[in-house]
Structures are given as structure tokens and as C-alpha cells.
Structure 1
Amino acid sequence: MPTSISSGVFDPLDPRHFRNALAQFATGVTVVTTLAEPGKFIGLTATSFNSVSLAPPLVLWSLANTARSLPVFQSCSHYVINVLGADQAFLADRFARRIENRFEGVEFDLSATGLPILKGAAAWFECRNRSQYPEGDHVILVGEVEHCAVDPQPALVFHGGKFVATNIE
């Protein structure tokens, strides 16, 4: 016999309720990095990462229309999507904050195109900025993967409004 869901009925006029419902879907945590101008890297935390296609190798992520870095990510030729490991919640937090230099004190290597690859990431994808689709209050960015690497380890996930370390290897 079905149980009542009266407290969980969706109200399209209540963004908080919609957000709470979305928070029940666990997502991986990434930091997307690129070059804003010569010598200045930018990066941000994104949980909206997903695969699109194996042939060609495509991935997607989305960025709010209000993000200060949106113009940079829309116009850059490449970016790197760093999938964070379970012990990297501090990086997710750092790159989600509004601070002047998010890279200060952060260890990274450079990709083939000279972009930051965060040390200790579980995986990374260097992408050519292939296409963009404005939808609602975000822009969906599709990247064509040119290089990637994996370091199998437990992943960091976002669930219920907080970062959670997985114990899956």
C-alpha cells in the first residue's frame, strides 16, 4: 500500500523545495579550471558534471548565468575538469568561496594547454570548449575531451547540501 507523500509534493513556485528535492541526488564534485588572462588561473567548484558521449568523447557541466567567471568559461578555448577525491573537500570548499586567489597554496600541475590539474584529483579531463547551451538560469558547457587521467580512489560527493567522502574504491 503506498504511503502518503503530502509533505513532499512539488510546488513549482517554491525554489527552496525544488532545491531540497534535488539535494537528495548525490553527485560527484569537480573543480573546473582555466586561464582567465595570461598568468591568471581561475577555477570553481561544480557538481553538475556528466558524461555525454564516448565517440566523440564529450562531457558537460553547467554554470549559473550570474557567475562572475561565466564570460571567461564561455570564451576560453580549453578547460580542465578535476574530479575530487574523498580527502579533497577542502578544495571543493575553497573553490566555492568568493576569494581573490583560489589557487594560493594549492598544488597543481599544468595540462598540455597550460591549465591547472589539481594534485590528488581522482580523475581529470582536459577539454576543448566545444559548445554551449543557455537553459534557464544556467549555461550548459559541453567539452570535447582531449586528454584525461585517472587515479582510482574514493570520491568526494555532494549530497543533502554537504560534501561527503565515499568509501567506494
Structure 2
Amino acid sequence: MTRPIPHSFVPDAQNGRLLRDAFGRFATGVTVVTAASDDGCAAMTANSFSSISMDPPLVMWAPARASSRFPMFAKAAHFAVHVLAADQADLAWTVARNRNALDEAGLVANPEGVPVLDRCLARFDCGLFAMHEAGDHMIVVGRVLRAQITEGEPLAFFGGQIAGIARG
């Protein structure tokens, strides 16, 4: 059931919070993206993840270019996207707040040397396919080299908060 729209607006500097709230009306999954960097494990929590293509197998995510972590990902030839499970909300918030959150986590490296989490709903090990400037973000497209899946409930994000997903 949808509610009536209270009003429409033109996105501009005065309506930044309203635009952010409007974007937040789209429920997403939550991921942690990792890459190897000169400083150890580069990690970022992201909800801007999507599949793009089956042939070739492509996914995308969109980090903010102003992020202090962005340069580590901009240089990475490989990265891994971890789709988080419902019980991994603390991990999502920890990585979002602390750029070094995974440095001491005892991560293993995949064959490309990317630090990876040992548990998540799905993991996509990717090679960089393309990068596209998109306003204050960069669209990073990865070619999926390997994928893993496990069973569990997804971690969701809606309206700036962790949310549940009701099934059928």
C-alpha cells in the first residue's frame, strides 16, 4: 500500500536532506566491499550495489569520490563484494565508521590477493571492468570472476536504518 505523496520538490542545495530521504525510500541490501591496498585491507560499507549483466557477468557499486577510502578502491584491479546477512548489522556499521575495521579481523585472501570475509550471504570476487564518473560518486563495474552463496536472511537498509524484509 502506498501513501499519498505530500509534495514534490526540485532537487537543489536547499532540498538536500529531502532528496536524501527520497533516495532512502528505496530498500536495498547491504554489502561490504573489500580490496587490497598498500595500507592493508580497504573496506567500505555500500548499499549502492547491483547486478548489471549475465554475459559477461558484471556487477556495480558506487563509492563516494570524497570518501577518504575512495583512492584505495580507485587503484584496485580487484575487489570483493560481500552481501551481508541479517545478523551482520554490527559489521556493516563498524566498517562504515572505521576505515581500519577489518585490518585485525584475520581475513583470508582470495586468489587475487583481496581480503575476504569468511561469512556472508553471497560474495562476488571481481576484476575491475570499468569506472564511470557519476556526480559525486564513481560507478565501479566489476567482472565477476567467482561467486559464492549461502543460506540466510538478508540485511536490508531503508530510510537510513537497518530494516527487515518480509517474505511472501
- Determine what percentage of the aligned residue pairs are the same residue: 35
Measure, in 2, the Cα distance between the counterparts of 1:21 and 1:56.
32
- Letter of the aligned partner of 1:40 in structure 2? G
- 3-state SS, counterpart of residue 87 of structure 2: coil
User: Are 1:18 and 2:19 matched, yes or no?
Assistant: yes
| Alignment correspondent of 2:91 | 91
Report the Cα offset of residue 31 of structure 1.
0.3
- Letter of the aligned partner of 1:66 in structure 2? A
Measure, in 2, the Cα distance between the counterparts of 1:135 and 1:71.
16
RMSD: 2.0
| Alignment correspondent of 1:29 | 30
User: Are 1:80 and 2:71 matched, yes or no?
Assistant: no
| CA distances 1:51-104 after superposition (whole Å, capped 9, x unpaired) | 11000000000011101121221111100000000100011001100x352115
- Structure 1 117/22 Cα, relative in aligned 2: closer, same or farther at 3 Å? same
Structure 1 gaps, min length 5: none
- Check whether the contact 1:154–1:168 (CA below 8 A) recurs between aligned residues: no
| Alignment correspondent of 2:48 | 48
| Alignment correspondent of 1:143 | 142
Question: Normalization by structure 2: what TM-score?
Answer: 0.89
Measure, in 1, the Cα distance between the counterparts of 2:85 and 2:106.
14
| CA distances 1:125-167 after superposition (whole Å, capped 9, x unpaired) | 0000111000111100000000110012110010011112436
- Structure 1 165/114 Cα, relative in aligned 2: closer, same or farther at 3 Å? farther
| Alignment correspondent of 2:110 | 111
Q: How many residues align?
A: 164
Report the Cα offset of residue 19 of structure 1.
0.8
- Check whether the contact 2:34–2:114 (CA below 8 A) recurs between aligned residues: yes
Report the Cα offset of residue 105 of structure 1.
5.1
| Alignment correspondent of 2:71 | 71
| Alignment correspondent of 2:62 | 62
Report the Cα offset of residue 11 of structure 1.
2.6
Structure 2 gaps, min length 5: none
